[in-house]
């Protein structure tokens, strides 16, 4: 796979507004999740944090991307989102600035994740908040998990353990 098939080509703004190259995560398996504070799946933050803590020292990272694409379930500012996540769920995994994960203003990262032409692996649609994309240590897409899939499901754990 070439660099073009890797998320490492992207630079995104973290929740504080600073540029972060996703190449900084080379050598780590990555789970990218579009998150929202007012969704029925919002309690997944708790299990995402547990997953992150379980594997953080084994070259695994979760990257949270707040998005307001579904029923206005992420209306907050970046500062409000960050405060909500820390206060309610103790989130310590990297959080990024709010982006769009579908539609005309879809972020380039999510165009990559959802278009086989770009990622070399699969086409997909972001169905709702808390959809999970798993990437290997080279930043290549390996799997997609549905919004309703619990982050601690055996299938997800197994997929992560194969990559780390």
Question: Where in the sequence numbering do the catalytic residues fall?
Answer: 39
Please give the Cα distance from 63 to 71 (Å, whole number): 22
Q: What is the CA radius of gyration of the chain?
A: 14
- Total number of residues shown for the chain: 164
Nearest 5°: CA angle at 23, between 155 and 148? 25
Q: What is the dihedral of CA 14, 119, 38, 71, to 10 degrees?
A: 120
The set of residues, in sequence order, having a beta carbon less than 8 Å from that of 45 and lying 6+ positions away, is 35, 85, 88, 89, 91
């Amino acid at each position: 796979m070439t660099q073009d098939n890797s998320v490492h080509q992207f630079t995104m703004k973290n929740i504080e507004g600073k540029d972060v190259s996703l190449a900084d995560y080379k050598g780590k398996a990555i789970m990218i999740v579009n998150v929202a504070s007012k969704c029925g799946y919002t309690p997944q933050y708790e299990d995402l944090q547990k997953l992150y803590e379980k594997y953080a020292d084994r070259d695994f990272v979760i990257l949270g991307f707040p998005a307001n694409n579904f029923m206005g379930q992420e209306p907050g500012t970046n500062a409000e989102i960050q405060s909500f996540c820390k206060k309610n769920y103790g989130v310590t995994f990297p959080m990024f600035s709010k982006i769009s994960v579908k539609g005309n203003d879809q972020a380039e990262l999510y165009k990559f994740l959802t278009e086989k032409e770009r990622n070399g692996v699969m086409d997909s649609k972001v169905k709702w908040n808390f959809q999970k994309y798993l990437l290997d240590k080279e930043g290549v897409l390996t799997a997609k998990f549905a919004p309703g899939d619990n982050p601690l499901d055996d299938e997800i754990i197994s997929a992560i353990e194969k990559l780390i």
